[in-house]
Amino acid sequence: MTLSNVPVPLPQAAVQQQGLRFAFYGRVSTEDNQDPAASRAWQLRRARGLVEPKGGAIVAEYFDVDKSRSIPWARRPQASALIEALKNPVRDFDAVVVGEPHRAFYGNQYSLTFPLFEHFRVPLWVPEVGGAIDPANEAHDMIMGVFGGLSKGERNRIKIRVRSAMAAITATEGRYLGGRPPYGYELIDAGPHPNPAKAADGKRLRRLVPHPAYSLVVKWIFAQFIGGRGYFDIAEELTRQGVPSPSAADPDRNPHRVQVAWSKSAVRVIITNPRYTGRQVWNKQRKDEVLLDVDDVALGHTTKLRWNDRAQWVWSEQQAHEPLVSVEDFERAQAILASRGRGPTTHKPHRSRRPYAFRGCLHCGYCERRMQGNWNNDQAYYRCRFPAEYALANKVVHPKVVYLREAEIIEDIDTWLVTAFSPARIKATIEAMTAQATGTENTAATHLRKQLATCNQQLNQYRAALNAGADPAQVAKWINEAEQERARLEGELKTVPAGQAMSSDGLAELLRQTGELAQAVVRAHPDDKADLYAKLGLKMTYYPEKKLVEAEVIPTSTCANGACPRGDLNPHAP
């Protein structure tokens, strides 16, 4: 693109006569704890207050929601769309206005972004300079650089204050700071929040109490481990006895986890969790910002969770909840771990990220678990090692390792996607989906049935706790509450109406959009394919014995199915 093809901006003196068309850019993130609608409104109001008195009008808006200011413009959806619009010589705006530079620019982002505005000769207006930024004005450049530094400093100060407050609250109060409760505990109300403003909003404190059934399991695990049994031995015994694993105990939060058996890692997590001693512990992990690409610093950072040394953990000074094991037994278990060469703080750093195109999309046909990426001989493979990680007391038939090479299927999968969702096949796909819709179960009814299954599971657990010696009065109360909840759910299930199918026009539009996304997936760079496959709703199951990959695309609320043999992944082609 030559600069001669790009419109040249009018001088500011001509704004009153002809009026500039402006594109507005703003941003809000969850870190700001602010309503996106309110934030957009005041930023837009500030931008209009700058351009409208000078005859300008805002004709386009680009507003990023839920994106941290530390993310560069190229990785913000709306900011990157604005940059693409700058490159268009027939764009529908003449200039860009930013309502709040603190929200738009962070660190050195201004110095990396403004040259694009200069190159395409699009003025950038900000309230702090009273109009358009003058590239030749050193004061303007200095002001914008200061705003980027202030924005970065503000974010860093917030992080320091929050971390310091959490450390102090953990050490002095032992307050529960959020997250899911450890296996063996459940959460109960602990009164109003001490902050008056949060208490007025209805926020309340919570604390951990032992679960009537699972707390006994945790005590048994520690006793068996200290007695000399290993991870697999314990996992096999728990699976054989039908004790729900942590994932099975909370299936709504763990739909992606294997729930048919205990894993050795689940046993190890319990053995190494210090909160079973009754103390609250914080700062076991930290978030580090790591360069996304060391060869392109402008792409910014990505956040990585890293384990801290045990000396950096923050422990509550007093017991915060009822312990399930003594401090002595916990330390004895850690000593046993260390003697086996697998101590609680020997965490290996994560390897560098590889471009696995089917990350999170490929499942094992034996155990239905997601297959893990494995880089071998400079190629992407996917593997499932179920027998090496999970107990086999449930008689799951599974090879030692299931392997699949990405290069064997990726071209055929892309070919199938383009063919299956081509415009010529939309009518045939709608007819097939309509024929299958008769047996489709109502989503609300399915959700209620899952809740009923959870109630029944809880009742069995409470009865098991009663047999194990738990307080009869307390267990009876829990049983009555679960039975009341079950009766309520059964009543709601009877009133759920039958589901209604989407109209043919709606299906056609949905399939058209899915086809456009499929085309984008095929053209995408390998590093971007994984995210696009996920947006497309691609799910694949690999059956090694049949040498078959079964592919399924679920675009929002409907799905298109196709069975794809490894040798011919395009059975629907005309």
pLDDT tens-place string over residues 483-531: 778 878 887 777 665 544 455 566 566 666 666 666 776 677 766 777 7
Q: Is the pLDDT of residue 220 over 90?
A: yes
Q: Is the pLDDT of residue 562 over 50?
A: no
Per-residue model confidence (pLDDT) at position 119 = 92
Q: Is the pLDDT of residue 34 over 70?
A: no
Q: Are 345 and 308 in contact (CB under 8 A)?
A: no
Question: 3 pLDDT band (50/70/90 cuts)?
Answer: very low
Same domain, yes or no, for 199 and 137?
Answer: no
| Residue among 543, 226, 554, 527 at smallest CA distance from 409 | 543
Same domain, yes or no, for 528 and 426?
Answer: yes
121-167: pLDDT as tens digits: 999 999 988 899 998 888 888 888 888 888 888 888 888 888 888 88
Lookup result for tokens 């009865």:
463
Q: Is the pLDDT of residue 403 over 90?
A: no
510 or 85: which leads in pLDDT: 85
Instruction: Tell me how far apart the alpha carbons of residues 438 and 511 are, in angstroms, rounded to a whole number.
Output: 19
Per-residue model confidence (pLDDT) at position 515 = 64
Domain assignment of residue 294, yes or no: no
Read off the tokens for 168: 């102090």
- Residue 391's Cβ-side half-sphere holds a number of Cα atoms within 13 Å equal to 27
Q: Is the pLDDT of residue 349 over 60?
A: no
Integer CA distances (angstroms), 242 to 208, 239, 259, 260, 394, in order: 25, 5, 11, 9, 9
Same domain, yes or no, for 375 and 522?
Answer: yes
Instruction: Tell me how far apart the alpha carbons of residues 68 and 145 are, in angstroms, rounded to a whole number.
Output: 19
Same domain, yes or no, for 131 and 249?
Answer: no
Instruction: Tell me how far apart the alpha carbons of residues 163 and 68 are, in angstroms, rounded to a whole number.
Output: 18
Q: Edge-to-edge, what's the strand order for the sheet holding 57-65? A: 57-65, 21-28, 95-98, 124-126, 131-132
Instruction: Tell me how far apart the alpha carbons of residues 248 and 264 are, in angstroms, rounded to a whole number.
Output: 15
Same domain, yes or no, for 192 and 322?
Answer: yes
Same domain, yes or no, for 92 and 239?
Answer: no
Per DSSP, the residues of 31-90 read: GGT--HHHHHHHHHHHHHHHHGGGT-EEEEEEEEES--TTS-GGGSHHHHHHHHHHT-TT
Same domain, yes or no, for 411 and 529?
Answer: yes
Q: Are 218 and 484 in contact (CB under 8 A)?
A: no
Tally of domains within the chain:
4
Domain assignment of residue 211, yes or no: yes
pTM of the complete model: 0.55
Q: Look up the CATH number of the domain holding residue 63.
A: 3.40.50.1390
Instruction: Tell me how far apart the alpha carbons of residues 535 and 552 are, in angstroms, rounded to a whole number.
Output: 13
292 or 186: which leads in pLDDT: 186
Same domain, yes or no, for 415 and 397?
Answer: yes
Lookup result for tokens 């602990």:
190
> What is the span of the domain harbouring residue 485?
443-495
Same domain, yes or no, for 264 and 199?
Answer: yes
Instruction: Tell me how far apart the alpha carbons of residues 499 and 439 are, in angstroms, rounded to a whole number.
Output: 11
Collapsing DSSP to helix, strand or coil, 545 comes out as coil
